[in-house]
Amino acid sequence: MLTAKEIRETNRMIEENNLDVRTITMGISLRDCSHPDLDTFCANIYEKITHTARNLVRTGEDIEREYGVPIINKRISVTPIAIVAEACKTDNYVKIAETLDRAADAVGINFLGGFSALVEKGYTPGDRRLIESLPEALARTNKVCASVNIASVRAGINMDAVRHMGEIIKKIAERTADRDAIGCAKLVVFANAVQDNPFMAGAFHGVSEPECVINVGVSGPGVVKTALEQCRGADFGVVSETIKRTAFKITRVGQLVAQEASRRLGVQFGIVDLSLAPTPAVGDSVAHILEEMGLEKCGAPGTIAALALLNDAVKKGGVMASSYVGGLSGAFIPVSEDAGMIDAVECGALSLEKLEAMTCVCSVGLDMIAVPGDTTAATIAAIIADEAAIGVINNKTTAVRIIPVPGKAVGDHVEFGGLLGHSPILKVNSFSAVDFIARGGRIPAPIRSLTN
Amino acid sequence: MRIIVTVVGKDRMGIIAMVSRILAEQRINIINLDQNIVEGYFNMILIADMTDSKAALKDIQQLFAAEGAAMGLDIKVQHEGIFEAMHRI
């Protein structure tokens, strides 16, 4: 029999520490929608998405109500559009993005990911059309998220694509300058992108995934921080055990929700993603966990060690709590979406370079980084190349979601709103990488032995 | 199926009577109850079995939401599954 103490503990996590299920993401294959005629293709994908996901939001809300745990987002990921639209006889994919946006509105979700291309080894014509369509597509849609994979352990780093993405990010920023370059917040440039990630903006439904699948992302930085408050001054063995126990409990809720959603929707259960995903809300910050461990501010010396411990302990605790774990699974460190990260940047404790180093030991990469509007395309490309190199050499997923905000400089502030939060403009190293980026070609795949 | 009913609010006469009346009317059997009062605030956690009830969990939640609001109480009704998942392997 459950005890009152256990029941109170769970409800306290939900009510006071922001425990929630961050997202139920339905992955939908669009492979059967291909058609040479653009209008027919758009009709096919609209029909497929709105039919397959017709009960997604209602089911999520039912589970939320019955169990009393908030499920913040219901989302959809689709097969990378560059692949399924390849056969379309058209020179751009903006209309496809608009169709995806309408489908997302029709089923009531808040984001749809998969306006994506995988170009780590080179482009097909479809890949090029998709990437060239990004500025207009992201300016004209609200819910469509895009991603481009430019590197992998097995292919190396496509430096032509890296250069191209630097230019495209600048164009997106200019095209959405009236909204502080919000278009850039909906684009992730990946190395080693995963096929089953439920989190936006980088979610897509990989080509080796089944017809339809349910992936769930849990959250709960506030719960981990509160647990650590109970063991101030204790050694790192105790810290690690406390995080593991907390991650186990959080993940069990994610597993329950994933199984229920899968059963009720009649859709295969894919994975639970163990990521600690912060929000701008007070008490929901990854940076504050690191500070609870004894750092004056996130970014201080010791930050990498603290983050490494956190990331590892979350995985160790979470893996046993779920039958299938996947996605990005690690601590996210988005700057504008984390109250503690924002504070740390504002007081000068946290820099772009320290964030880069942090990405070596945690999930994903440089996420939601607002930089001066005059940052050049070559510099953005070089930042992407650095981050891709970290991923490729260390056999992990890394990514860049960077926003060069037109008209803004260091000392200014940018407001994205909602879950995307707000951020001070981060300083970027002003020395040039123009000649480096101009070379193009591909950095070969790395050797996987002699690993020093 | 078991449900967990959590009641929090300023103490007054008739809270347990109201909760148990609704449960009995819906043929829901109380199997455990933990209740205390701290500085005038009533706090109760109740575990009940819905096996013989024809009502849906959603209906029970709506009943308690309405009755609770009328008495100035916050009443939460949850499926037991979330607690079992978190605290039992």
Nearest to A372 by CA among A415, A424, A334: A424
CB contact under 8 A, A10 and B86: yes
Is B4 an interface residue toward A (CB < 8 Å)?
A: yes
How far apart, in whole angstroms, are the C-alpha atoms of residue A16 and residue A55?
30
Is B47 an interface residue toward A (CB < 8 Å)?
A: yes
Tens of pLDDT along B11-36?
999 999 999 999 999 999 999 999 99
CB contact under 8 A, A1 and B47: yes
Nearest to A172 by CA among A159, A190, A187: A187
**Site of tokens 């504008």:** A336
- pLDDT of A282: 82
A132 by Cβ neighbours in 10 Å (0-12 / 13-18 / 19+) ranks as middle
- pLDDT of A330: 87
Least confident of A271-285, A353-367, A379-393, B66-80: A271-285
CB contact under 8 A, A10 and B81: no
A293 by Cβ neighbours in 10 Å (0-12 / 13-18 / 19+) ranks as buried
The mean predicted confidence, pLDDT, of chain A is: 96
- Residue contacts between A and B (CB atoms, under 8 Å): 57
CB contact under 8 A, A2 and B84: yes
CA nearest B31 in A: which residue?
A1
Q: Which residues in chain A have their CB less than 8 angstroms from residue B30's CB? A: none
- Out of A62, A68, A253, the one facing B76 most closely (by C-beta) is A68
Q: In the structure, what pLDDT confidence band is assigned to residue A436 with cuts at 50, 70 and 90? A: very high
- In the structure, how many helices (H) and strands (E) does chain A have? 15, 14
pTM listed for this prediction: 0.95
**Cα A415 to Cα A143, A177, A178, A418, distances in angstroms:** 18, 13, 12, 9
What is the value of ipTM here, to two decimals?
0.93
**pLDDT mean over A33-42:** 98
CB contact under 8 A, B47 and A2: yes
Q: In the structure, what pLDDT confidence band is assigned to residue A272 with cuts at 50, 70 and 90? A: very high
CB contact under 8 A, A7 and B45: yes
Tens of pLDDT along A226-255?
999 999 999 999 999 999 999 999 999 999
Cβ neighbours for A40, distance < 8 A, ≥ 6 positions apart: none
Is B51 an interface residue toward A (CB < 8 Å)?
A: no
Is B41 an interface residue toward A (CB < 8 Å)?
A: no
CB contact under 8 A, A253 and B82: yes
Q: In the structure, what pLDDT confidence band is assigned to residue A413 with cuts at 50, 70 and 90? A: very high
- pLDDT of A417: 86
How far apart, in whole angstroms, are the C-alpha atoms of residue B19 and residue B5?
9
Checking if the pLDDT of A439 tops 90, the result is yes
CB contact under 8 A, B86 and A6: yes
How far apart, in whole angstroms, are the C-alpha atoms of residue A357 and residue A202?
21
Checking if the pLDDT of A448 tops 90, the result is no
The residues that bridge with A146 in the sheet, in sequence order, are: A115, A187
Is B29 an interface residue toward A (CB < 8 Å)?
A: no
**pLDDT mean over A393-413:** 96
Checking if the pLDDT of A45 tops 90, the result is yes
Checking if the pLDDT of A363 tops 90, the result is no
- Out of A65, A68, A69, the one facing B58 most closely (by C-beta) is A65
Is B38 an interface residue toward A (CB < 8 Å)?
A: no
Pairing status of strand A71-78 against strand A21-28: parallel
